[in-house]
Amino acid sequence: MVSLAVIGEPLRFLISLFSRFFKYLDILQVLVLNVYLGGLILYVIAMVPLGLFSSVTMWVVLFFSMSFVAVKLLIKRFSWPEKNDILRIVVVFVIFLVALWIQLIPVSHLVFGSVHDTSLHSLFVQVMLENRQVPLTLQPYSPEGIVYPQGFHAIVAYAVCVFDYLIPSAVLHITTLFSAMSVLGAYYLGKALSSKWYFAVSLAFVFAFVAEWPRSLTWGSNAFVASIPLYFVCLSFVPSLLKEKQKLNALENIPLGILFGYLAAMHLQPYETLIASVMLWWLINIAKRKRNVLSQLKCMLLIILTSMIPIGPFYYRGLVWYPYPYHNIGLPADIEFTIPHQEFFQVLFDNISWFWNNLS
Per-residue model confidence as pLDDT tens digits over 273-290:
999 988 888 888 788 777
Q: How far apart are CA 160 and CA 256, in angstroms?
A: 29
125 neighbors 171 (Cβ within 8 angstroms): yes
Query: What pLDDT does residue 23 have?
Result: 83
Q: Name which of 136-145, 181-190, 210-219, 309-318 the model is least confident about.
A: 210-219
Q: How far apart are CA 259 and CA 243, in angstroms?
A: 20
Q: What is the mean pLDDT of residues 137-158?
A: 90
Q: How far apart are CA 338 and CA 331, in angstroms?
A: 20
Each residue's pLDDT tens digit, 242-284: 775 666 677 888 999 999 999 999 999 999 999 998 888 888 8
- The model's pTM is 0.88
177 neighbors 96 (Cβ within 8 angstroms): no
| Residue 337 pLDDT greater than 50, yes or no | no
| Residue 235 pLDDT greater than 90, yes or no | yes
Q: What is the mean pLDDT of residues 223-241?
A: 92
338 neighbors 347 (Cβ within 8 angstroms): no
| Residue 27 pLDDT greater than 50, yes or no | yes
Query: What pLDDT does residue 316 have?
Result: 87
Query: What pLDDT does residue 322 have?
Result: 72
Q: What is the mean pLDDT of residues 351-359?
A: 65
pLDDT band at 335 (very low <50, low <70, confident <90, very high): very low
Q: Buried b / exposed e across 330-347, counting CB within 10 Å, b at 16+?
A: beeeeeeeeeeeeeeeee
Q: Which of the two residues, 173 and 80, has the higher pLDDT score? A: 173
| Residue 331 pLDDT greater than 60, yes or no | no
Q: Which of the two residues, 84 and 160, has the higher pLDDT score? A: 160
Query: What pLDDT does residue 162 have?
Result: 95
3-class secondary structure for the chain?
A: CHHHHHHHHHHHHHHHCCCHHHCCCCHHHHHHHHHHHHHHHHHHHHHCCCCCCCHHHHHHHHHHHHHHHHHHHHHCCCCCCCHHHHHHHHHHHHHHHHHHHHHHHHHCCCCCCCHHHCCHHHHHHHHHHHHCCCCCECCCCCCCECCCCCHHHHHHHHHHHHHCCCHHHHHHHHHHHHHHCHHHHHHHHHHHHCCCHHHHHHHHHHHHHCCCCCCCCCCCCHHHHHHHHHHHHHHHHHHHHCCCCCCCCHHHHHHHHHHHHHHHHHCHHHHHHHHHHHHHHHHHHHHCCCCCHHHHHHHHHHHHHHHHHHHHHHHHHHHHHCCCCCCCCCCCCCCCCCCCHHHHHHHHHHHHHHHHHHHC
- Alpha-carbon distances, residue 193 vs 29, 162, 180, 238, 343 (angstroms): 13, 37, 21, 10, 45
| Residue 334 pLDDT greater than 50, yes or no | no
Q: How many CA atoms lie within 13 A of 196 on its CB side?
A: 5
Each residue's pLDDT tens digit, 28-76: 999 999 999 999 999 999 999 999 999 999 999 999 999 999 998 888 7
What burial class does residue 323 get, using C-beta atoms within 10 Å of its C-beta: 0-12 exposed, 13-18 middle, 19+ buried? exposed
Q: Which of the two residues, 84 and 194, has the higher pLDDT score? A: 194
Q: Which amino acid is at 147?
A: V
| Residue 210 pLDDT greater than 60, yes or no | yes
Q: What is the mean pLDDT of residues 291-312?
A: 86
Percentage of the chain surpassing pLDDT 90? 52
Query: What pLDDT does residue 243 have?
Result: 73
**Residues in a beta bridge with 145:** 137
pLDDT band at 296 (very low <50, low <70, confident <90, very high): confident
Q: Which amino acid is at 199?
A: F
Each residue's pLDDT tens digit, 82-136: 666 888 999 999 999 999 999 999 888 888 877 777 788 999 999 999 999 999 8
Closest CA to 180 of 97, 84, 290, 301: 97
Q: How many CA atoms lie within 13 A of 277 on its CB side?
A: 17
Indicate the average pLDDT of the chain. Answer: 86
264 neighbors 311 (Cβ within 8 angstroms): yes
| Residue 332 pLDDT greater than 60, yes or no | no
Query: What pLDDT does residue 345 have?
Result: 66
